[in-house]
Amino acid sequence: MLQALQCLPQTELLYLSSGGSLYSTDPGEMANEDSAIRPRSYHGASKVAAEHFIRAWCSQYGGSATILRPSNLYGPGQMERMGFGIIPACMGKIRRGETLSVWGDGTSVRDYLYIDDFIKLCITATERPMPNGCFPYNAASGLGISLNTLFDTLELVTGQHLHRDYDASRAVDAPHIVMSANFAKEQYGWGATTSLREGLEKTWAWFNTTQQ
């Protein structure tokens, strides 16, 4: 794709990277765009590589790129799929009365961003001319939630119990990832407005219209 863009002068590119797989933070800290990139998975490493390719394109061919690094996205439209998306996985287990296998003790902390909030940022980023060069922006709620708190909130939203089976933690999972989206707020006036409970309620309502 970048090779094709070399022939198109003054091209603007919006690339969706990943914040949740790039950072690892200490408790009480938040990652910003200048924080160290420490991917633990091949998926995260591939996102870092893609960002470097884009920067090289911008440097050589005068491209303009905006990179958005979302935290853990969720919401209507995200189908239940093995190994992808803790929230649809939980909802599927709740609906079928099955037990969810949890890596670790449930204390790992993540940032969850509702899909509509993220789409608003994507639209805003494309509505104005992009400056020359490559600029990354975190897209996050800025609120760290433990897995156990997420499970409890899901039980409140659904009115049903989520059966859980805790197992040993995995080296690929960082214990704490919380991101700051202050740069996006400064540049675009953007901020997440959907609370976790409201987002889960909307997601659960949609989830029960599907035949997964």
The domains of the chain, with CATH numbers, are: 2-207 (3.40.50.720)
Q: What's the sign of the alpha-carbon dihedral 17, 18, 24, 30?
A: positive
Q: Quote the pLDDT of residue 23.
A: 87
Rounded Cα distance between 121 and 109, Å, is 24
Rounded (10°) angle between helices 147-158 and 196-207: 60
Q: Quote the pLDDT of residue 99.
A: 94
Average pLDDT over residues 121-129: 95
Per-residue pLDDT band for 9 (boundaries 50, 70, 90) equals confident
Instruction: Determine the residue type at 153.
Output: T
Overall pTM surpassing 0.95 (yes/no): no
